[in-house]
Amino acid sequence: CDLQGLWRNQLGSNMTLLALNTAGPFSGFYHTAVTATNKQILGSPLQGAQQHPGAKRHPTFGFTMHWQFSDSTTAFVGQCFVDCHGKERLEATWLLWEEVPSHRDTWKATRAGTSIFTHIK
């Protein structure tokens, strides 16, 4: 499974992952189609790591990003799957933490969900 390239999730968000380092680290950019803010949506850089691509057929990965248009950070963890036709698919769980005014407000600081990305090119 090769993470490099353009990926799109079920909500229309786009993610571009750059070449994987042989040790597993990677970087890229994420442009979300969904947000809770009314500010202009900007692409946000991401940093991550994947199991060595040759080590497993369906490697796990993780990446984080600080959104360029809001005071929040999101972490994604998941696994890459390849179907019998060679089509790659990323399945991931994400956790977002948004800045809140005090520790008493942390109950409303998080959101979580799942994303399924398909390889566009």
Question: How many residues would you count in the chain?
Answer: 121
What is the pTM (predicted TM-score) of this model? 0.85
Measured CA to CA, the distance from residue 107 to residue 120 in angstroms comes to: 37
pLDDT of residue 95: 96
**Which fold is adopted by the domain 5-119?**
Lipocalin (2.40.128)
Higher pLDDT, 107 or 34: 107
At residue 103, the 3 state secondary structure works out as helix
Show me where the domains of the chain are located: 5-119
Q: Please, are residues 68 and 56 in contact by the beta-carbon 8 Å criterion? A: no
Structure confidence by residue, pLDDT tens digits, 38-85: 666 677 999 999 986 666 678 899 999 988 778 889 999 999 998 888
Q: Which of 32, 23, 26 is nearest to 113 (CA)?
A: 32
pLDDT tens by residue, 8-24: 999 999 999 987 777 78
